[in-house]
Amino acid sequence: MGNTNEMEVIFDSRSANESFARVAVAAFLTQLNPTMEEVSDVKTAISEAVTNCIIHGYENEIKKIYIRCEINAHTFYVSVRDEGKGIEDVKQAMLPMYTTKPEADRSGMGFSFMEAFMDQVEVESIPGEGTEVKMKKTIGKGRNAWTTQSL
C-alpha cells in the first residue's frame, strides 16, 4: 500500500473529450501539490497523447481511449492507450516533424512535446492492435519549502 494511488478513466475518442482527459488527470495530480508549470506540462503531454489516439490511432472513428494514472511517492506515471491501427515504425514516428498526416496540418511534434514536458516517454505499439504511450514525471523535485508554501 504505502504512498501509491491509482486511477483509470475510459472515454470516447472524440476531440471534445481531450479537455476532459486533461482536467481528470490534472485533478488526480493535485494530491502531489504540483506547481502550475508541472500541471501545465502534464496537461500538454496528455493532450498530445489523446490527440494522437483520435487522429492517428482511430483516424477519427469513435472508439475508446484508456488513461491510467499512478502516483508512487513523488512520481507520477500515466499511460494513454488506444486499440487503433498501431504504429509501424515507432522510432520514425517519434522523430520531430515526422507526420503521417501532412494534409491534415499535423506538425509531427506530438511525441517531441511529450518528451519535452515529461521526464520519460515510452511508446509501445503493435500494428493492427493499438498503441500505448507511457509517461513519467517526478513532481516537486528540487523545490524548497518556500516555493511549496507560496502556491
Determine which one of 22, 38, 52, 83 is catalytic.
52
Q: Which entry of 106, 115, 124, 143 is annotated as an active-site residue?
A: 106
For 141, counting Cβ atoms within 10 Å of its Cβ (0-12 exposed, 13-18 middle, 19+ buried), the class is: exposed
Please give the grid coordinates belonging to residue 122: 515510452
Catalytic residue among 18, 38, 48, 132: 48
Does 52 qualify as catalytic in the annotation? yes
Instruction: For residue 106, indicate whether it is catalytic.
Output: yes
From CA 67, how far away is CA 53, in angstroms rounded?
Answer: 11
Q: Which single residue is written with the C-alpha cell 517519434?
A: 94
Residue 120 CB neighbour total at 10 angstroms: 13
Active site residues: 48, 52, 106
